[in-house]
Amino acid sequence: MKKKLLSMMLVAAMVTTSFVACGGNGGSAAGTDGADAGEAAAGGTEEEAPVELIGTSEDPNTLTVSAWDANFNIPALEAAAEAYKKENPDFKLEVQTVSGSTDVEQAVTLAGSSNDYSQLPDIVLFQDHYIQSYVANYPDAWQDLEGADIDWNDFGAEKLSYSTIDGKHYGAPVDNGTCVFAYRIDVLEEAGYTIDDVTGITWERWLEIARDVKEKTGYALLSMDHSGDDLPYMMLQAEGQSQWKDGKPNLVGNDTFKQIIEVIVEGANDGTILLSNSWSDYTDATIIGDQVAGVFNGNWIIPTIEQNESASGKWEITTIPTLTGKEGYASNGGSSLYITGNCEKVELAQAFLAYTFGGGAGAMDTYDNALRNGGVITTCVSAAESDVYQEGVAFFNDQAIYTKIVEMGTHVPTIEQNDYHYTLRTSVGNMITNVQNGADLDAEIENAQSEVEFAMEE
């Protein structure tokens, strides 16, 4: 059943943008998917031929890696390669830039289906939400990092939960998917509020403030791409809960989930939450187009926010409202680097990853330059202690947002994940639309759960 799921996921990803993160590509370029920076815009159509990955090199000091996003992940890899040369001057990293995460996923699937991994590179970038199912289905495609000199306690537990499988670490974290809630402080001020007034509050109070802001300024206080709606997932994680329990959908009878949906529907109906019909409408129209005074998503959305240059210096970030009023923390998207089963230089690969992305001696150089050149924010706590991370960011009113994001990431609760994450997201998105149009919420929750359970049984 799982291998059938993987095939279905690949087909779907080839005809739509892959929203992981980092959902897709929203972090580094407007109009692409939010995982942007955290994840990959999926490439191609079902009719296109599979992309051949780079393979390996015979040179003993050269590693190969396949990854996506020339504006985000690739600068991070280049920064790591440069940093590692201080440890090994003869080291070379050959980087293949593919169009999206789907290229890597498809290559691994095809290799696994034929039980021939000889065409894979030494290392691949892989989406966090997908890795567990791929390790389960194609265990020979991967080599773990158990021999690497990495202090795993130096990373956020939630980030590592994706790539820790059967007690073994497989992935070296690259980007930080920690969510931010960014606000236009000038708009809040015009309506009589400050950033403190929207920090550590209930969603009920947030809706009251949002309606007041809308009435006084014309701005909505939040938007989301409803074609790939991550609001329910993020809001529920901020409550410390998952949409899954013991491998099954956790929607029916989940009062917290129901209350979150009620918040979203109420905000959408009164115009304080804009549910866009597409990713481009979300980024280009609502955020860059200056329709909203609040943005809530993985921090890879920051480069999109920054494209509205007229609002420079007028934004600040904070935590997420919750049903109880405690400060909420969540993560959306992200990816890590994995050593493939085709790598014959495992010690070199482990040493490179440990020295750079794994918090070793080259971590600060790696992440400082990855941040400067690609906007990549680490989950490595010690690497975020650098002067670069602690600098105030002019666009965000000189707030030191990068070190704040890393600190926030240490509070993100680890929740149950599932291979059918995106299947459930689609059903919940349709459910929200139906409830907006007058359908009964309880009935729609039951329908959404039944849809996901049916898909899981096929």
Could you read off the pLDDT of 326-363 as tens digits, one per residue?
999 999 988 999 999 999 999 999 999 999 999 999 99
Q: pTM of this prediction?
A: 0.86
CA distance 102 to 45: 10
> Around Cβ 4, how many Cβ atoms within 10 Å?
9
Instruction: With a cut of 60, say whether residue 415 has pLDDT above it.
Output: yes
Distance CA 153, CA 377 (A): 18
Structure tokens at 320: 């997420």
- Write the pLDDT tens digit of every residue in 174-187: 999 999 999 999 99
Please report, in angstroms and rounded to a whole number, the separation of the first and last CA atoms in the chain: 7
Which CATH fold topology does 2-177+333-385 show? D-Maltodextrin-Binding Protein; domain 2 (3.40.190)
Contacts of 274 (CB under 8 A, 6+ apart): 220, 222, 223, 224, 268, 286, 291, 292
- The pLDDT mean for the chain works out to 90
- How far apart CA 426 and CA 190 sit, in angstroms, is 37
The whole-number pLDDT of residue 48 equals 64
308 within 8 A of 284, measured Cβ to Cβ = no
Looking at residue 285, its pLDDT comes to: 95
Alpha-carbon gap, residue 230 to 235, rounded angstroms? 9
* CATH superfamily, region 180-330+394-458: Periplasmic binding protein-like II (3.40.190.10)
**Residue 337 backbone dihedrals phi, psi, to 5 degrees:** -100, 135
Question: Can you tell me the distance from the alpha carbon of 249 to that of 228, in angstroms, rounded to the nearest whole number?
Answer: 18
Task: Examine the pLDDT at 273 and tell me if it is beyond 80.
Answer: yes
Give me the mean pLDDT over the 104-133 stretch. Answer: 94
Q: Which residues contact 34 (CB under 8 A, 6 or more apart)?
A: 19, 21, 22, 23, 24, 25, 26, 27, 225, 230, 279, 283, 297, 298, 300, 301, 304, 332, 333
Per the structure block, which two tokens stand in for 94? 């050959």
Q: Please give the C-alpha separations between residue 291 and each of 283, 295, 305, in angstroms, as whole numbers.
A: 10, 11, 12
**pLDDT for 293-335, tens place per residue?**
999 999 989 989 999 999 999 999 999 999 999 999 999 988 9
What is the predicted pLDDT for the residue at 129? 86
d(CA 34, CA 127): 13
Tokens of 157: 């537990």
pLDDT at 203: 98
pLDDT in tens, 395-405: 999 999 999 99
From residue 258, give the alpha-carbon distance in Å to each of 91, 191, 250. 53, 30, 11
For the stretch 212-232, pLDDT in tens is 999 999 999 999 999 999 999
pLDDT at 35 over 50: no
For 103, the token pair is 């290229």
Give tens-digit pLDDT for 144-173.
999 899 999 999 999 999 999 999 999 999
For the cut 50, the answer to whether the pLDDT of residue 12 exceeds it is: no
pLDDT average, residue stretch 106-134: 94
Identify the pLDDT of residue 458. Answer: 78
Q: Phi first, then psi: what are they for 249, rounded to 5°?
A: -60, 140
User: Which residues are CB-neighbours of 55 under 8 A, at least 6 positions away?
Assistant: 64, 118, 119, 120, 121, 342
Residue 22 above 50 pLDDT?
no
Task: Give the integer Cα–Cα distance in Å for 379 and 334.
Answer: 10
Give the per-residue pLDDT at 71. 87
* 275 φ, ψ (degrees, to nearest 5): -100, 100
pLDDT, residue 387, reads: 95
Q: What integer is the mean pLDDT of 108-117? A: 95
Is residue 1 pLDDT above 60, yes or no?
no
Tokens linked to 1:
């059943």
Question: What's the half-sphere exposure (Cβ side, CA atoms, 13 Å) at 253?
Answer: 5
Share of the chain above pLDDT 90, in %: 84
pLDDT at 366: 97
The CATH 3.40.190.10 portion of the chain extends over 2-177+333-385, 180-330+394-458
